[in-house]
Structure 1
Amino acid sequence: MGSNRRMDHMTWPEFKEVKTRPVIVPIGSTEQHGQHLPIGTDAVLATRVAEDLAERIDGTVLPTLSYGYKSKPLSGGGPLFPGTIDMNGVTVINQMHDVLSELIADGFTKIVVMNAHFENEAFIVEAIDLVTRETGGVATIVETNWWDPVPQSVIDKVFDGLVFPGWALEHAAVTETSLMLHYAPELVHMDRMVEEAGATAKSYVRYPVRQGDVPAHGGLANPAGSSAERGRLIAEACVGAVAEICAEEFGE
């Protein structure tokens, strides 16, 4: 992606000139992702998907919000692992609220929030709702998780010969590992990948979280079979679908 699409590489007059175009706010987390993926996986994926989307919709990408809401045991491994730095819900709400408010004050009316951390969404939506009420709905704000727009046909293709455990348990597993192999292979340690069955889904959450509630290596499902090609399929499907959503919602 050209640096002219990154807000943090622009001067303020350059940023002012693009206010009629879509602007994308990536948000991830700082959270353990097993033995083979970096702590910044969610932030990396939010950023790279947002950059690809910006190329498709002639948009601008804001600096990524790299801290997210508390990691849940059976979607992110919980609070037991060094490197997981969690924010309280009100912190996530306030940070997103303030970023969106400033964008709208600067005249931006086409905003995409690209989320890559399962636990963030309710707090993102709360921030969007508050800002929409406060500003009278002058901006159209589209919020999505990178996985939500991916068609089932693509999921079936990605998991051909593999078992899809459901999105909550796809933590440091096939989809995230494959996306990282596609976007940032230099950060992936395939030689450290633990090929085990992973966690068992439960219908409840128990606190305090205990050692043994999640696999000791941090992953929640088996990442075996991950590949850059599978990552490319996911990325292209996501970006293509969100680009279509933006065309519809922004009237372009």
Structure 2
Amino acid sequence: MEELDAFTYRERVASGVLVLIPVGSIEQHGPHMPLNTDVLLSREMAGAVAGATGALVAPPIVFGYKSQQRSGGGNHLTGTTSLDAATVVSIAKTLVLELARHGVRKVAFVNGHYENYQFLYEGADLAIRELRLDGITDLKVMLLSYWDFVGDDVIAELYPDGFPGWDLEHGGVLETSLMLLLHPHRVDMTRVADIPPAQLPDYDVLPARPEFTPASGCLSSGAAGTAEKGRLLLDGASAGMVAAIRGEFGV
């Protein structure tokens, strides 16, 4: 989207184009992957969806909501740089309102950071409510976290010894495999922490208890990650999102 000139962009908007907004975070992903892993993967997923639907991809929302110990290692870890909930809500709401001002009526957030989802939802909901008060009733917003579109068949192939759950996949096989496929030069497999899935309590406590988080910052091992598994994940997740988007928007 940002590489278009304003007049070409206006033409695309007038044609009814869908705009995808990738959303990531700046968050530690262990010693083997970069802090912007969620940004890179959300943008790649959005790009794959755009290639199949003709959508425009907006610049990503780079910062995300605070990392939680039971899904991202915790916001106390060095490198993780996060936003408060109200800020995430405000950014999401403002972007929807701005796109609507341009004439966009189809928007989808492509989420790559587990903790973002409810705040993106709230921002979109507030924007739609405000637009309706102004008489704009034809805007639709979708929210998609790409891992929700990974099928059971792919999960069974990737995790033959049992699936730990997406919350414990932080820095694990999913992200490592996708990064090996899409950004292999940014992954150092000699530094992977080969650890069992983290044993975490069934509750949260504030301030965070650093001893709950494995020293690596990862909640499961990425040692079994491969580019081939990344291809399965990218193809499966993007196909699922494309089907859902076509069902809602008819693109």
- Give the TM-score of the pair, scaled to structure 1: 0.94
Aligned counterpart for 2:3 among listed residues 4, 9, 15: 9
Aligned-partner Cα distance in 2 for 1:195–1:163 = 16
How far 1:150 sits from its partner (Å)? 1.6
Matches within 5 A, 1:21-60: 21-60=17-56
Q: One-letter code of the match for 1:138?
A: D
- Structural RMSD (CA): 1.1
How far 1:251 sits from its partner (Å)? 2.3
Query: Is 1:188 equivalent to 2:187 in the alignment?
Result: yes
Query: Is 1:150 equivalent to 2:150 in the alignment?
Result: yes
Q: Secondary structure at the match of 1:8?
A: coil
Aligned-partner Cα distance in 2 for 1:60–1:202 = 41
- How many equivalent residue pairs? 245
Q: One-letter code of the match for 1:43?
A: V
- Give the TM-score of the pair, scaled to structure 2: 0.95
Q: Which deviations, in whole Å up to 9, do the C-alpha atoms of 1:80-117 show, x marking residues without a partner? A: 22110010000000011101110011111111110010
Counterpart contact for 1:169–1:201, Cα < 8 Å: no
Bigger Cα displacement from structure 2, 150-159 vs 114-123: 150-159
Bigger Cα displacement from structure 2, 133-142 vs 87-96: 133-142
Query: Is 1:70 equivalent to 2:66 in the alignment?
Result: yes
Q: Which deviations, in whole Å up to 9, do the C-alpha atoms of 1:220-246 show, x marking residues without a partner? A: 012121001111111111111111111
Runs ≥4 in structure 1, deviation > 2 angstroms? none
Q: Secondary structure at the match of 1:127?
A: helix
Partner of 1:121: 117
Aligned-partner Cα distance in 1 for 2:69–2:179 = 22
Q: One-letter code of the match for 1:240?
A: A
Counterpart contact for 2:147–2:237, Cα < 8 Å: yes
Partner of 2:205: 206
Aligned-partner Cα distance in 1 for 2:173–2:43 = 19
Matches within 5 A, 1:62-141: 62-136=58-132, 137-141=137-141
Matches within 5 A, 1:151-190: 151-159=151-159, 161-190=160-189
Aligned-partner Cα distance in 2 for 1:109–1:64 = 19
Partner of 1:3: none
Counterpart contact for 1:174–1:223, Cα < 8 Å: yes
Aligned-partner Cα distance in 1 for 2:240–2:161 = 24
Counterpart contact for 1:72–1:79, Cα < 8 Å: yes
Counterpart contact for 1:25–1:112, Cα < 8 Å: yes
Q: One-letter code of the match for 1:184?
A: H
**Unaligned 5+ residue runs, structure 1?**
1-6
Q: Secondary structure at the match of 1:171?
A: coil
Counterpart contact for 1:162–1:225, Cα < 8 Å: no
Q: Which deviations, in whole Å up to 9, do the C-alpha atoms of 1:133-154 show, x marking residues without a partner? A: 1112421111110111221122
Query: Is 1:246 equivalent to 2:234 in the alignment?
Result: no
